[in-house]
Each structure stands twice: as C-alpha cells, then as structure tokens.
Structure 1
Amino acid sequence: MTLLSSKRFLLSALLLSLGASLALAEEQDADKATVETVEEAETYHSPQVDKDKAFFMEHFDDQEAFEKKWVKSEAKKKGVAEEIAKYDGQWQITTPIKKAFNADLGLVLATEAKHAAVSALLDRPFVFGDKPLVVQYEVTMQAGQICGGAYLKLLSKGTDTKADLRSFHDQTPYTIMFGPDKCGSDNKLHFIFRHRNPVNGSIEEKHSKKPTERLEEIYKDKAPHLYTLIVSPDNTYSIMIDNKEVSSGSLLEDFTPPVNPPDEIDDPNDVKPVDWDEREKIVDSSAVKPEDWDESAPAQIPDPDAVKPDGWLDHEPVNIPDPEAKKPEDWDADMDGEWEAPLIDNPACSVGCGEWKPPLIPNPSFKGKWRPPLITNPNYKGRWAPRKIPNPDYFYDDQPFKMTPIHAIGFELWSMSPNLLFDNLLITDDPATAEQFAAQTFTPKLSALTKYEESFLDAAVQFVAANPWVWAVVVLLILVVIVIYIYVRAGPDEDVEEALKKADAMTPDDLLDEEEQEARGGKASLEEPADDEEQSTLRKRKKDDGSGDASKKKDEE
C-alpha cells in the first residue's frame, strides 16, 4: 500500500468512525425525550406615551411611517475629499440580530466606513423654559465598535422644514450633541451644547466633563444600552446609562471651556521690562576654590581593610565546559564550525575563583568638581506677569439652560463597524414619562434577552448532561480536524509520521484559533494552495532531479 493510500485509508477510517458514532448517538437518543428548546420571542407591542408629554417619539417599528417622517441627507460633508464626502451610508429598518420580540424593529446603519446622515422634525419645537429637557434612546453596537460615533444631534432653529433636513451635514447648527463615541482606546460619552455669547454673538461648543464610570464594556458586549440625558432649568444635568447615573454636574461649572469668561484678562499690550530680573538665586562671583580642593580624587577606592576569603581559588576558571554535554549526531563541522561544549558554573568555585580584587568603597577624600555656591539675588523682582485689565468681552450668563430652541433631531455619523442599531427615541420635558417609556421598551427587551441567553445555556447544559456521548463526538471531530490538517500540511509525498512531527503536537485550541481566523476572513484556508506558476516550477524541479519519477514508481509499488 502506498503512502498516499495509507493516508487516505486513515482519513476514511476516522470519517467512518465519526459516522458510526453519530448513528449510534441518534439511535440512543431516539428513546429519550427531546431537550426543550428556548421559547420563541414574545409578542411585542410598540410603546405608547402621552402625546402632550412627548415632543418626539420614535420606535422604528413602521417602515412606511419612517419613510414619511425621516429625511436622508442629500448634502456632502465639508472639508473632506470629494470621493468620500457624500452621505451614502445605508439606513435600514430591520430586526435586531439578537431578537427579543417578534415585531420589534430598529433603525440600523448597515454600512461601515461611510458617512451617513438622517434626520426628522420634532412634533413641535422644544423651547427651553421652566421644564427640563429629557433625551432618551437605545443603541446596540451589534458588531461591537472599533472606531466611530453613535450619538445624536438636536438641531437648532433654522432646520424647520424637510427641505432644510435634506441639506443636513456636519456643520448644520445644533443645540445639543449627546451619545457614545469611540476610537481606539478613547471611549467617550458626549454631552456638548452650543452657547451663544450675548455680547459679540459668537457661538462656542461647551464639552462636559468625563463620566465617572468606565465605558469599555458598552462598546464590545453587543448588547442594547439605554442612554438618558436630563438637563434641568436650575442649570444642572444628569447622564445615565441603563438607568444608572454615570455623570452629573453644573452647566456653569463642569464644562470646558466654561460658559462665562473671566472678568479680567492679561493686557496684550503689556511687555516685560528689559531689566526685569527673575533669577531668585545667582552664582557668588566672589567665591574662590580652596587650595586643598582635589578634583582628581576618584569617587570610589578599593577597601584597604578587605581580606581575600579562605578557599578562594585564584587559578580556577569561573566557568567550565559541561562534561555531560555531547556533540549532536547531525553536527557538521564544515557547516557549523568546531563543536564546543556549553559552559556551566564551575562547581569548585563555592567561595570564588579567578583573580581576587578588594571591593570598592566611597572615597573619603573625594570632593568632585568645585563649583561656586549660589547666593540670593539682590535684584530679584519675582516672576513677571502682564497686568490685568477688564475683559472687553466679559458677560455673565446665569441661565445657560436657556439654549437655542430645538426643531429637529438627526444622526450624522461615520463608523468602522457595521450594523449600529438605534431604537426607542424619546424627547420629553417629563422624566417620569421617560421612565415609563423605558419600562415599555428597554426593560422588557433586556429581560427577554437575558431570559433567552439563560434558557439557551440551560438547555445546552441539560442536553450534554443527558447525553454523555456528545463528548465522544466532540473528541472525534477534533481528531478529524487534526488529521485533515496534517494531511494538508504533509502533502502526498510525505509520510504520516513525518507529518505528525511537523504538526509539533498541535492542540485542539491551535486548530480552533485558525478556524476562528478563517471565520473572520483572516485566512481563506488552513494553507493557501500554490498558484499555477508555483505548481509548474515544482513539477519542473521534480522532473530535473528525478524525484517525480521516483515518487511515481514508489506509488506503483
């Protein structure tokens, strides 16, 4: 039997063993009760809220209503190359990948590495008065997030029509930007509001302080998360994730740059005098190096009191060749040079070997390089600073809460991860309404997903416990994968034993790692086949050295 036939026989035997095991498993399982499957997703009803309490409410469960209400941008992003400036990212109303309810849909940004923008008018404008602004929505990063935003923008007055929304782009004026954003290890949760200077009319973005909670998990767990922002008339704010507060503070104190500028500024025309001396200490110019100052003395000297230890072997080497070492059988002196045994510590040197030298100690006579001492500068005037003058742009806004009215809401995003899902968006002036809305949407969704995952895990555990033969099937599958891998690596002209050596005792984990890379697109196969040119070269080499004929003859035998 040829080597190739032997390998084929081994592979066939393993496959037949696997088939027999599976057939036996089916026969054994026929008389047992089937394992309970996870219940189908529960019936879902779109949430409802009091229209008088909601300035905007969207559950994305109605495709037709979405197309009437939302407007996709026809503009181009400013300040980027023409070929990537267009907002051509794809928005879809679709079912989540992890479905909690049968009829629950969401708005999905399906594409990656493309600019995308979509917006909608509020049912009525939100004007900042004596009630809080509450913004709430869900985000599910279904593929995790590598780099990109999932925030929303509350668009300012001036985006009052659908025609305005068709021109929605990155520089469209907004009042508030809120939501998660990530790139690399920089995990952010934005709350930015645009503030108008009442003196000169300029607009400046104000960024909130960082959350007190770590945010890494929300970008990689692929689970839905609820984001809530409450901005109150007393100029305070609160940010929550999944109904847990992660940041809070004051509009007047916790934003960068601050809302109100300083009442005094440095005089831009004030210049430091030429004779202004800021040196607190100066070198004593009258100091003279002492005559007995020896700069040549070393910092350390041999210890004059040190004595060589008893048993010190002056003429013994510290290291000796390993007497138990043997020259490898395949050592080629012409190629590898003269073989020498590796060195080991000399066992005779228990106290010490070689030339003994006394240890070094600090030199009591050492003084180092002489330098003149420092003395107080009699002309020192302190650190110079320009004088302060009244800030010509000073103002004090004690009500930064009263921002520009909001007329529309929009997503203007770019993401390196596809399938960002948005759902259950609400703008209200009543925190209790937001809580009720979350109780109809996020809370049951999270409960259903948790129940589904627990049921699936329990079912799997029960199935394995009731069917121990599953472990045998798993082991056989791993063996089949190992054999196939060895076969591919060895090729038809190598012995199985030699291939096993090359595999270097690969573990199932090694194979699973390669399979995972393949599933992610990292490798097309366990080993890429040679192209036509490479195969032709190999055949030619075999023909030239006669190995091809020898192999053929060997197979025939």
Structure 2
Amino acid sequence: MKTFIVLSVLVCLALADPTVYFKEEFGEGWSDRWVNSKHRSDQGKFELSAGKFYGDAEKDKGIRTSEDARFYGISASFDKFSNEGKTLVIQFSVKHEQNIDCGGGYVKVFPSDLKQEDMHGETPYAIMFGPDICGPGTKKVHVIFNYKGKNLLTKKDIRCKDDVFTHVYTLIVKPDNTYEVKIDNEKVESGELEADWDFLPPKKIKDPNAKKPEDWDDREKIDDTDDKKPEDWDKPEHIPDPDAKKPDDWDDEMDGEWEPPQIDNPEYKGEWKPKQIDNPNYKGQWIHPEIDNPDYTADDKLYKYDDIGAIGFDLWQVKSGTIFDNVLITDDVAHAEEFAKETWGASKDGEKKMKDAQDEEERKKQEEEDKKRKEEEDAKKEDEDEDDGDDKEESPKSEDHDEL
C-alpha cells in the first residue's frame, strides 16, 4: 500500500503543470505587450520578421533589429515572483542572420519596479544572459548576476554560436546554488555559483602574521665553490679581422687612422659561471600558511531573487538584423527543453535547407555574372585586336601615296 501511495505521488508530481512566469512567441498583439524605451532619441526600431530564410514563415517571426549602429531597448513586464526554493530557467532564441560583426544578443531580467520607457544600459538588473560578439576576440555567452548591488561576471569563458542560424540559449539556476548553460538543448557549461562567480570573498586568506623564516633557504641549486674559472677563459668577444687590408685609396689625413673591422672571436667562451650543485640546505618552496577569512560568511541562497518582474533586450548593434524569439521564463527544465524542440527544433532543418538553396542560387547567379563579364571582356579584346590589325594594313598604303 505504501509503495502504491509513493508511486501515485510521483506520478502526480510528474504530471503537474510547470510554472510559466513569462512566455512570448511574438504572435498577434506582441507590440501591446512590449514597451519601447524612450531613454534615447535615436533608439533603434524593432520590427516583426522571420528573416530572409526560415523553417516556417509565420511561426519563425520574431523581433528584428532594423537599423545599423543603434542602441536598442524594449521590455515586457509580468507578475512578479521569487525563485526562492525553485529552479529558475531563462530561455530564448537568437538568429544573427546578418553575420553580426559587433553587437549584443542577450536578455536582461529585471525587478518589477523597472521603468520600462526609461530602460537603458545603466538600469539595475538581476540577471543578464546571452551571446555577445565583437570581432574575432569576443564571442562569448554572458552570464552576469547582480548580487548586493554588484554585477558579477562569470570566471569561465563560455563560447557562443557565431553563424547565421537560429540558436536557443538556456540558463538554469538551481536552489542548490548550481547552474547550467545550454545551447540548442545541449549543455555547454555548468558548476557552482560560488566557485564560478565572486559572490563571496575567499574562504581562506594568507595569514598576515606569518612570514618566511629568515634562515629559510629555498634555493634548489647553488654555485659549486670548488669550481674555479680556468686561467685561459677570458677572451675578448670580438677581435680585429686578420684578413682585412687597408684600402689603397685610404687617406689617413682625410679619413683618419685606419682600423680593421671587428669579427666574432672564435675563442670567446662567454661569461664564466661556476657549475651548479644541489643545495644541501634546501628546504623547498615556502608556502604561506592560510587562515579562515574573517570577512567570509557563507550564503546558501546566492541563487535567490525576491523580485523578478520584467525582461528586456537592452543592447547595441553595429550591423542590424538579429531576430529574437521564443522567450520563456519557467521553473521547469523539461518544459523549457520541450518548448525549444517545438519551436527551434521544428524549424532548424527547414531554415538551413532554405539558406542552402539561397546560397546555391546566389552561387549560380554569380557564376553567370562572371561568365557574362568574361565574354564581354573577351569580345572587347577581340575588337581591339581587329582595330590594331586594320591600322597595320592601312599603313603601307599611306607610304605609297606619299611616294606618288
């Protein structure tokens, strides 16, 4: 009976609906749910688009950056919640179909008091997550947590995708103070919050009262005092070239006293140093002893935010064309994974197929243009050759006429 009850509870838990705090697929009425920032007068505009290639013309529509060299700011609010004691999952898709050279592709999660029309780069946020690309040197996934007023960057280098296709980015923050980052439903990084961010000062510090003993000898090798420099060791590094001859036209009064050029001395042995022997007094490298850091206080709720109530895209792009879609905030990892499969997973093959077809069409078009240009160049060259031939045929007639 007990086994039956336990199994029943487990089944009920498995069938329980996930909590979805926010979900946006940018369908009908999306612009009523999102607020554009008015912090800057030259703010870039988002437009609804599936882009130039896609798997589904309607389902793959998202908000697209439409103007080059612009700051972008747009946000949506939802009922505030706390992730205390729960898993927090933040997920969205990014498509840099313009082959972005420099620009952000991340989201920011804000507290509920966000002033949406004034959102800008200095607006406090709880979490910033997603890809950032700028030149060949910056191709990373940002995972930034705000902790007690400070924005903390991850110590790890998490590489982002840098092609032109749609990719899904997922951040999972668990109540045991661990995390996971996934791209396209595949784990790319994970670990402990305390280890991979500077939430807290170090547990141990070097003992400020400890000092290396004055008689501590950490020289592994020492000079051999019995080793003596040979008497014939010291030779000059350079000597006059014995084969050099004074030029016949050298004038001592005009050119000064002639000196032969210098050459490397084959007998030069360099600076003499005594050979090294093991140091009998060697004690090894001195290690500074550590003590508990009095400024360290453990925190088992590094993951926790009391107020999460808005999400936004606040970024800069040099070349526009990025499409954001399928934004999800939930407490269920499996639900987020399934949502990614239903959206990105269902479209990715069609998207690539359409892009490949466009590339093939462009290749053929370029081949035709190159062929046409070559034919025109060849024809022009033939005309020039014929003109040169005509000129050569006419020249003897002119000479005959002059003789007459």
CA-to-aligned-CA distance 1:330-383 (integer Å, 9 cap, x gap): xxxxxxxxxxxxxxxxxxxxxxxxxxxxxxxxx9x9865433566889999987
**2:202 match:** 262
2:382 matched to 1:416? no
> Take 1:67 and 1:75, find their aligned partners in 2: how far apart are those partners?
18
> Take 2:57 and 2:367, find their aligned partners in 1: how far apart are those partners?
37
Contact residue 18 and residue 335 of structure 2 kept, 8 A: no
- C-alpha change, 1:271 and 1:172, in structure 2 (3 Å) is farther
- C-alpha change, 1:169 and 1:457, in structure 2 (3 Å) is closer
Superposed, 1:124-523 pairs within 5 Å as 124-159=79-114, 164-185=115-136, 186-196=138-148, 203-207=150-154, 209-211=156-158, 215=160, 218-220=161-163, 222-253=164-195, 255-257=196-198, 259-266=199-206, 280=219, 289-290=229-230, 292-296=231-235, 369-372=271-274, 391-450=293-352, 452=354, 479-485=371-377, 496-497=384-385
Secondary structure of the 1:252 match is helix
- C-alpha change, 1:283 and 1:442, in structure 2 (3 Å) is closer
**2:69 match:** 113
Contact residue 106 and residue 422 of structure 1 kept, 8 A: yes
- C-alpha change, 1:477 and 1:72, in structure 2 (3 Å) is closer
Contact residue 190 and residue 208 of structure 1 kept, 8 A: no
> Take 1:284 and 1:240, find their aligned partners in 2: how far apart are those partners?
59
Contact residue 26 and residue 62 of structure 2 kept, 8 A: yes
**1:59 match:** 25
> What is the CA distance between 1:133 and its match in structure 2?
0.8
> What is the CA distance between 1:248 and its match in structure 2?
1.7
CA-to-aligned-CA distance 1:257-280 (integer Å, 9 cap, x gap): 3x332244357799999x898773
> What is the CA distance between 1:126 and its match in structure 2?
3.0
> Take 2:186 and 2:269, find their aligned partners in 1: how far apart are those partners?
65
Secondary structure of the 2:205 match is strand
TM-score (norm 1): 0.52
Which has the bigger relative contact order, CA under 8 A and spacing at least 6? 2
> What is the CA distance between 1:178 and its match in structure 2?
0.9
> What is the CA distance between 1:242 and its match in structure 2?
1.5
> What is the CA distance between 1:239 and its match in structure 2?
1.7
> Take 2:88 and 2:367, find their aligned partners in 1: how far apart are those partners?
59
Contact residue 84 and residue 305 of structure 2 kept, 8 A: no
> Take 2:190 and 2:62, find their aligned partners in 1: how far apart are those partners?
29
Contact residue 192 and residue 208 of structure 1 kept, 8 A: no
Q: Which runs of 5+ in 2 are unaligned?
A: 1-15, 238-265, 389-394, 396-404
Contact residue 120 and residue 409 of structure 1 kept, 8 A: yes
> Take 2:120 and 2:358, find their aligned partners in 1: how far apart are those partners?
44
**1:71 match:** 35
Decide which structure has greater strand share. 2
- C-alpha change, 1:92 and 1:287, in structure 2 (3 Å) is same
CA-to-aligned-CA distance 1:187-240 (integer Å, 9 cap, x gap): 1012221223xxxxx5341415234xx64xx322x2111112221112222222
> Take 1:436 and 1:125, find their aligned partners in 2: how far apart are those partners?
24
> Take 1:453 and 1:272, find their aligned partners in 2: how far apart are those partners?
66
TM-score (norm 2): 0.69
- C-alpha change, 1:249 and 1:377, in structure 2 (3 Å) is closer
Secondary structure of the 1:440 match is helix
State the AA in 1 paired with 2:124: P
Contact residue 293 and residue 367 of structure 1 kept, 8 A: no
State the AA in 1 paired with 2:162: Y
State the AA in 2 paired with 1:55: Y
Backbone CA RMSD of aligned residues: 4.3
